[in-house]
């Protein structure tokens, strides 16, 4: 389980397609990274499943599309315009310059013009102009303003569910307009009138009921962790512990629930445990907060996002931990790094009793929360971990920057640490590392194609097409450098690539976590 050797996957052209999904075909690689010609309505058939009433209601939204939804949606937009400066400014500021038009992976993969970021924003901006600006009220045609109709709502549901909220467009916009903010607002509006997305709402329901996205109950979790301890003992001879709900542990590790049993995710979980073991740090997982992911962000709903984040605060207070560490998960790290201090007081620098209660308990010598990569890198720099780098010699490794880590968070002490620290770790534990084209890495990284709550089977066609730019960059170094392993620090990226790589002729085992590599090379104390 720990270390599957990954054979070289050479892909001359993306022809491989599993038979049962004959409909879904990977687009051909572009000879040069040219901008695709527009294919109007190419993705008009791409719709996620609408949430059933029970799923909507379990998250506090109306079960089905409410009467008078048109007015209610417009009113909700007005409410959000008053609550979010981002939306307020971004509705006005766009000049239609077109700088973003070729930056979205879904546009590159599909050619559908409504997947150009500006066109996606305009689905909402046209309604904003109609109801909230004078020219839109007086001369709707002139400024491209539209009434809130069923056709418009259908387009919202289609195309706001073809945005993974990866923020690549916001890097390139001269005003920093972030389509993710618009998409989140659109989803919030749709949910508020009873038009929910099944996959996301089902998952949020599970988090509240069971504690994690995958619906893994406490006893099953305990079983899984015991199994891991046995496996690691057998593999390494070291009695590495994977503790659950241990009061008084120093570190509370909050990780995506996929880490508990999905491949290749679990190999990174094994790696975290080995790092804590080797460094002699006491740690624990929590059955209450057995999920780092926070799908509340995907639907732009502050209350849900906070409610989900509060589990972590409560677990930290109950267990009395000194440090909170987050596992390999992209959007979870954005929520943890950028939002937890706001939502729950996990952080520093508060002057209100709510946040101070927790911040007094936490050890402020460490960043709160810390990313597992920050923890590992600090230990490496302090000389507290030893590696047998040759153990990774069968791998030629590259690193895929996950969008939420790259463009929505940071690691370490300086801007851009989120790019260097994972790469530093890889170089510390392996001998062969190659970067992908710089137009597709660091803050210019392309989304895996499955983020933002789109990691669901009915959107597979979109996911395969959206992976095109990343697959092109990967293919280039597979051809030139024989790369056979793409490391990443995001549960969604791992699941998405596992599914999508075969469509491009690569082995699904090519993707894995950074701590999977750490796990392979780390020298455990018991062995000496």
Partner 1 sequence: MNLLFALLFYAATLILVGGVAYRVYEYARTPAPLKIPTTPAPTTTGGVAFRMFREVVFFESLFKSNLWIWALGWTFHLGLALVLLRHLRYFTEPVNFIIAFIQPFGMYAGFAMAAGLAGLWARRFLVERIRYISTPSDHLMLALLLGIAVTGLLMKFVMHTDIVAVKSFFLGLMVFEINPLPAHPGLYLHLGMVALLMIVFPVSKLLHAPGVFFSPTRNQVDNPRETRHLAPWAAKFEAKN
Enumerate residues 367-386 that contact partner 1 by CB under 8 A: 367-369
Sheet of 251-254: strand order equals: 283-284, 251-254, 323-326, 370-371
205 within 8 A of 219, measured Cβ to Cβ: no
Please identify, using beta-carbon distances, which residue of 323 and 463 lies nearer to partner 1: 323
Q: Which of 10, 28, 54, 142 binds partner 1 (CB under 8 A)?
A: 142
Considering CB under 8 A, how many residues would be counted as binding partner 1? 79
Q: Which of 99, 225, 434, 508 binds partner 1 (CB under 8 A)?
A: 99
Q: Does 410 bind partner 1 (CB under 8 A)?
A: yes
Please identify, using beta-carbon distances, which residue of 282 and 342 lies nearer to partner 1: 342
Q: φ, ψ for residue 466 (rounded to 5)? A: -70, -20
Residue 43's nearest CA partner among 128, 159, 138 is 159
Smallest separation, CB 88 to partner 1 (Å): 5
Q: Does 113 bind partner 1 (CB under 8 A)?
A: yes
In DSSP notation, 198-246 reads: HHHHHHHHHHHHHSSTT---HHHHHHHHHHHHHHHHHHHS------BS-
Buried b (16+ CB within 10 A) or exposed e, 302-324: bebbbbbbebbbebbeebebbbb
Please identify, using beta-carbon distances, which residue of 342 and 509 lies nearer to partner 1: 342
275 within 8 A of 347, measured Cβ to Cβ: no
Smallest separation, CB 270 to partner 1 (Å): 27
Please identify, using beta-carbon distances, which residue of 97 and 233 lies nearer to partner 1: 97
Subset of residues 321 to 340 that bind partner 1, contact rule: CB under 8 A: 337-339
Please identify, using beta-carbon distances, which residue of 129 and 277 lies nearer to partner 1: 129
Segment (H or E) for 108: helix 105-110
Q: Which of 7, 144, 237, 248 binds partner 1 (CB under 8 A)?
A: 144
Please identify, using beta-carbon distances, which residue of 53 and 142 lies nearer to partner 1: 142
Burial of 247: CB neighbours in 10 Å, binned 0-12, 13-18, 19+: exposed
Subset of residues 254 to 283 that bind partner 1, contact rule: CB under 8 A: none
> Rounded to an integer, what distance in angstroms lies between the CA atom of residue 17 and that of residue 23?
9
CA torsion angle 389 391 395 396 (round to 10): 20
Please identify, using beta-carbon distances, which residue of 186 and 517 lies nearer to partner 1: 186
Smallest separation, CB 150 to partner 1 (Å): 22
Smallest separation, CB 418 to partner 1 (Å): 7
Subset of residues 471 to 510 that bind partner 1, contact rule: CB under 8 A: none
Please identify, using beta-carbon distances, which residue of 233 and 439 lies nearer to partner 1: 439
Subset of residues 339 to 368 that bind partner 1, contact rule: CB under 8 A: 339, 341-342, 345, 347-352, 354-355, 367-368
Please identify, using beta-carbon distances, which residue of 135 and 248 lies nearer to partner 1: 135
Helix, strand, or coil (residue 91) = helix
517 within 8 A of 267, measured Cβ to Cβ: no
Please identify, using beta-carbon distances, which residue of 181 and 267 lies nearer to partner 1: 181
Q: Which of 406, 459, 462, 510 binds partner 1 (CB under 8 A)?
A: 406
Q: Where are the alpha helices (H) located in 237-369, listed in sequence order?
A: 265-279, 302-319, 330-334, 340-344, 353-361
Q: Which of 229, 245, 263, 443 binds partner 1 (CB under 8 A)?
A: 443
* Overall size of the chain counted in residues: 528
Smallest separation, CB 233 to partner 1 (Å): 36
> Rounded to an integer, what distance in angstroms lies between the CA atom of residue 285 and that of residue 271?
14
Smallest separation, CB 163 to partner 1 (Å): 16
Q: Does 147 bind partner 1 (CB under 8 A)?
A: no
Burial of 222: CB neighbours in 10 Å, binned 0-12, 13-18, 19+: middle
Buried b (16+ CB within 10 A) or exposed e, 357-392: ebbeebeeebbbbbbbbbbbbbbbeeeebebeeebb
23 within 8 A of 45, measured Cβ to Cβ: no
Smallest separation, CB 93 to partner 1 (Å): 3
Binding mask of the shown chain, residues 295 to 314, with x at each position contacting partner 1 by CB under 8 A: -------xx--x---x----
Count, in order, helices (H) and strands (E) of the chain.
23, 7
Subset of residues 77 to 96 that bind partner 1, contact rule: CB under 8 A: 81-86, 88-90, 92-96
Subset of residues 122 to 141 that bind partner 1, contact rule: CB under 8 A: 122, 133-135, 141
Subset of residues 149 to 208 that bind partner 1, contact rule: CB under 8 A: 167, 170-178, 181
Please identify, using beta-carbon distances, which residue of 144 and 217 lies nearer to partner 1: 144
Please identify, using beta-carbon distances, which residue of 296 and 502 lies nearer to partner 1: 296
Q: Does 110 bind partner 1 (CB under 8 A)?
A: no
325 within 8 A of 271, measured Cβ to Cβ: no
Subset of residues 37 to 66 that bind partner 1, contact rule: CB under 8 A: 37-38
188 within 8 A of 126, measured Cβ to Cβ: no
Subset of residues 413 to 432 that bind partner 1, contact rule: CB under 8 A: 414-416, 418-419
> Rounded to an integer, what distance in angstroms lies between the CA atom of residue 5 and that of residue 392?
9
Smallest separation, CB 489 to partner 1 (Å): 15
């Amino acid at each position: 389980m720990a270390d599957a050797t990954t054979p070289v996957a050479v892909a001359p052209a993306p022809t491989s397609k599993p038979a049962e999904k004959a409909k879904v075909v990977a687009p051909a690689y572009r000879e040069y990274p040219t901008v695709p010609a527009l294919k109007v309505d190419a993705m008009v058939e791409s719709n996620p499943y609408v949430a059933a009433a029970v799923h909507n209601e379990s998250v506090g939204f109306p079960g089905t599309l409410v009467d008078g939804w048109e007015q209610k949606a417009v009113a909700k937009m007005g409410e959000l315009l008053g609550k979010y400066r981002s939306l307020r400014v971004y509705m006005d500021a766009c000049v239609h310059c077109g700088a973003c038009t070729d930056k979205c992976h879904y546009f590159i993969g599909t050619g559908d013009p409504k997947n150009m970021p500006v066109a996606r924003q305009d689905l909402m901006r046209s309604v904003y102009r109609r109801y909230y600006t004078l020219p839109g009220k007086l001369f709707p045609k002139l400024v491209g303003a539209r009434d809130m109709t069923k056709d418009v709502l259908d387009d919202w549901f289609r195309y706001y569910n073809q945005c993974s909220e990866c923020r690549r467009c916001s890097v390139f916009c001269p005003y920093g307009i972030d389509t993710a903010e618009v998409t989140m607002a659109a989803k919030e509006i749709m949910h508020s009138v009873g038009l929910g997305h099944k996959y996301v709402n089902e998952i949020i329901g599970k988090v509240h009921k069971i504690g994690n996205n995958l619906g893994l109950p406490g006893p099953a979790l305990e079983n899984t962790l015991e199994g891991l301890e046995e496996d690691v003992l057998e593999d390494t001879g070291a009695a590495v512990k994977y503790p659950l709900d241990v009061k008084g542990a120093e570190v509370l590790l909050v990780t995506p629930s996929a880490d508990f049993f999905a491949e290749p995710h679990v190999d990174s979980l094994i790696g975290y445990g080995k790092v804590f073991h080797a460094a002699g740090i006491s740690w624990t997982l929590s059955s209450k907060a057995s999920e780092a992911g926070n799908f509340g962000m995907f639907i732009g709903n502050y209350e849900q996002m906070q409610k989900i984040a509060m589990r972590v605060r409560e677990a930290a207070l109950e267990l009395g931990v000194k440090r909170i560490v987050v596992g390999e998960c992209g959007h979870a790290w954005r929520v943890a790094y950028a939002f937890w201090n706001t939502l729950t007081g996990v952080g520093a620098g508060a002057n209100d009793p709510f946040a101070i209660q927790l911040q007094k308990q936490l050890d402020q010598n460490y960043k709160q929360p810390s990313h597992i990569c920050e923890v590992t890198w600090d230990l490496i720099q302090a000389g507290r971990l030893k590696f047998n780098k040759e153990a990774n010699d069968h791998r030629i490794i590259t690193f895929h920057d996950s969008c939420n880590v790259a463009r929505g968070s940071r690691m370490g002490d300086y801007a851009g640490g989120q790019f260097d620290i994972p790469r530093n770790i890889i170089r510390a534990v392996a001998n062969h590392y190659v970067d992908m084209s710089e137009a597709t890495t660091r803050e210019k990284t392309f989304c895996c194609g499955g983020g933002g709550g789109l990691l669901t089977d009915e959107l597979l066609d979109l996911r395969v097409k959206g992976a095109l730019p990343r697959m092109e960059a990967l293919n280039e170094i597979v051809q030139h450098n024989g790369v056979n392993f793409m490391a990443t620090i995001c549960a969604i990226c791992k699941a998405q690539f596992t599914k999508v790589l075969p469509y491009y002729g690569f082995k699904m085992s090519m993707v894995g976590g950074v701590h999977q590599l750490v796990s392979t090379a780390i020298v455990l104390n018991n062995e000496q």
